[in-house]
Amino acid sequence: MTSIPEELKYSKEHEWVQGDPVSGSVVTVGITAHAADALGDVVFVEAPVLGSQVNAGSVCGELESTKAVSELYSPVTGTVTEVNADLESAPEAINADAYGSGWIFKVELTEDAGELLDAAGYAAVTE
């Protein structure tokens, strides 16, 4: 089992959030190593569009792997301020470094994040 970084927050849909998830802040979003392992080799990432609105718990993109196509859910509500353009040519970064260079998008929150889990709470979901 991959270690779960303590400093991040998590959704039950296997996304992570880095940063303070309160209204007005910008947070970074990606998928967990657990999700990346379950997907297999990621070969294509459809991230949300720069400037678009995302809503917590709603589909905002897709991840395509050698095994399946999986929906990407936003764990927070806000406006997309940045998208990881490196994933267009190197989607495998999600498998290689899910919590680092494999980040997917950044969001300026328009409301406080709701039900995000801490590392222990997320570990319980993955058992």
pLDDT in tens, 6-61: 999 999 999 999 999 999 999 999 999 999 999 999 999 999 999 999 999 999 99
Helix (H) or strand (E) holding 38: helix 33-39
pLDDT at 2: 64
- Domains of the chain and any CATH numbers: 9-111 (2.40.50.100)
pTM: predicted TM-score of the whole model, two decimal places: 0.95
C-alpha–C-alpha distance, residues 102 and 8, integer Å: 14
Please spell the DSSP secondary structure of 72-126, one letter per residue.
EE-SS-EEEEEE-THHHH-TTHHHH-TTTTT--EEEEESS---S-B-HHHHHHHH
Asked if 29 contacts 57 with a C-beta cutoff of 8 angstroms, the reply is: no
